[in-house]
């Protein structure tokens, strides 16, 4: 018998689709049923072998599921929680694939009622530029980090079983509190995305932007790769984590103001000190 007899997935794009394919490849799932807002996307997912069935009524499908994965945009999760809460079976666990956790946990608290104990939030650190079921692959999570942010209300066994599901997908699972999670990712993910979008936007405003871009080279290419990410997704992430991100951006502006002053003062020593410290830390990180 597979580890999970039935899995129900809301949102069958890159994250949800790859979860299904990975569990299938591991022989860890009996049946996968999918829900989504687009019939075309659901049909694709079925054709691609992601889904056994396209679900019709969430109420009828979640009662006998072992696991429900919410892999929709984070802004839609409150609705899904509300739709499924009354119908969850006694054994049904819930996890998600959202990039922010404070807002997802708040939506769960507001909509899951006493089923909150079954929700073990997760953030898989994988995938980025691609989207849709066509982009889904069984190997997406192999060797990648998945951060669980368990709730005080979770039973240890619920956390262990959700961890196992992600590990069956090949992921390396670690745990943070939702607050820690959002602080960490504000610094190492949300802020860099904002800065990269901002640089390209800054250049895009110039009359000579074509000339500028014609001389941009590999440094610019790598620095701005993440500025090709989905504007809607990153708007939502920034809004969901906006308080922490506001503080992070404030610290970064201070850092830039100190460099701005160093340029004004022709303070070469200060510049070299900042650059050297950064290079040391960045080079050590690469080697991990």
Indicate the residue among 155 and 198 with the shorter CB distance to its own copies.
198
Near its own copies by CB under 8 A: residue from 28, 125, 135, 137: 125
Interface with its own copies, residue 272, by CB under 8 A = yes
Near its own copies by CB under 8 A: residue from 3, 142, 159, 274: 274
Contacts of 41 (CB under 8 A, 6+ apart): 12, 13, 132, 133
Q: How many CB atoms lie within 10 A of CB 176?
A: 17
Residue from 29, 13, 9 nearest 164 by CA: 29
Indicate the residue among 106 and 228 with the shorter CB distance to its own copies.
228
Indicate the residue among 59 and 281 with the shorter CB distance to its own copies.
281
Residue 147-166 contact track with its own copies, rule CB under 8 A, x = bound:
x-------------------
Give every strand in the sheet of 4-10, ordered side by side. 53-54, 29-35, 4-10, 67-70, 93-96
Number of residues binding to its own copies, judged by CB under 8 A: 85
Give every strand in the sheet of 122-124, ordered side by side. 122-124, 145-148, 172-175
Q: How far is the CB of 29 from its own copies (least distance, A)?
A: 26
Interface with its own copies, residue 169, by CB under 8 A = no
Residue 132 CA to residue 150 CA, distance in Å, equals: 28
Where b means 16+ CB within 10 Å and e means fewer, 36-67 reads beeeebbebbbeeebbbebbeebeebbbebbb
Indicate the residue among 115 and 163 with the shorter CB distance to its own copies.
163
Considering only residues 207-226, where is the footprint of its own copies by CB under 8 A?
A: 208-209, 211-226
Residue 241-270 contact track with its own copies, rule CB under 8 A, x = bound:
-x--xx--xxxxx-xxx-xx--xx-x-x--
Near its own copies by CB under 8 A: residue from 14, 88, 116, 227: 227
Contacts of 29 (CB under 8 A, 6+ apart): 2, 3, 4, 5, 6, 7, 20, 23
Q: Which stretch binds its own copies (CB under 8 A): 2-10, 37-45, 161-169, 240-248?
A: 240-248
Indicate the residue among 155 and 213 with the shorter CB distance to its own copies.
213
């Amino acid at each position: 018998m597979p580890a999970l007899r039935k899995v129900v997935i809301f949102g069958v794009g890159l994250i949800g689709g790859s979860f299904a394919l990975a569990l299938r490849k591991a022989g860890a799932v009996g049946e996968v049923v999918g829900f989504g807002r687009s019939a075309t996307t659901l049909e694709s997912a079925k054709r691609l072998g992601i889904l056994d069935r396209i679900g019709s009524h969430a109420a009828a499908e979640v009662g006998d599921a072992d696991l429900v994965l919410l892999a929709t945009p984070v802004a839609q999760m409150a609705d899904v929680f509300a739709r499924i809460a009354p119908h969850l079976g006694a054994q049904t666990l819930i996890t998600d694939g959202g990039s922010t956790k404070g807002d997802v946990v708040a939506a769960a608290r507001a909509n899951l009622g006493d089923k909150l104990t079954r929700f073990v939030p997760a953030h898989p650190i994988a995938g980025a530029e691609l989207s849709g079921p066509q982009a889904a692959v069984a190997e997406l999570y192999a060797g990648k980090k998945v951060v669980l942010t368990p709730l005080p209300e979770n039973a240890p066994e619920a956390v262990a079983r959700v961890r196992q599901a992600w590990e069956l997908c090949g992921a390396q699972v670690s745990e943070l509190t939702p607050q820690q999670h959002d602080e960490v990712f504000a610094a190492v993910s949300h802020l860099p995305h904002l800065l990269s979008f901002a640089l390209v936007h800054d250049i895009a405003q110039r009359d000579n932007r074509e000339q500028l871009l014609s001389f941009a080279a590999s440094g610019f290419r790598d620095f701005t790769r993440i500025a090709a990410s989905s504007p809607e997704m990153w708007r939502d992430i920034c809004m969901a984590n906006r308080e922490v991100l506001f503080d992070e951006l404030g610290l970064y502006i201070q850092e830039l103001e100190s460099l701005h002053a160093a340029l004004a003062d022709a303070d070469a020593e200060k510049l070299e000190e900042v650059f050297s410290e950064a290079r040391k830390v960045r080079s050590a990180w690469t080697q991990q």
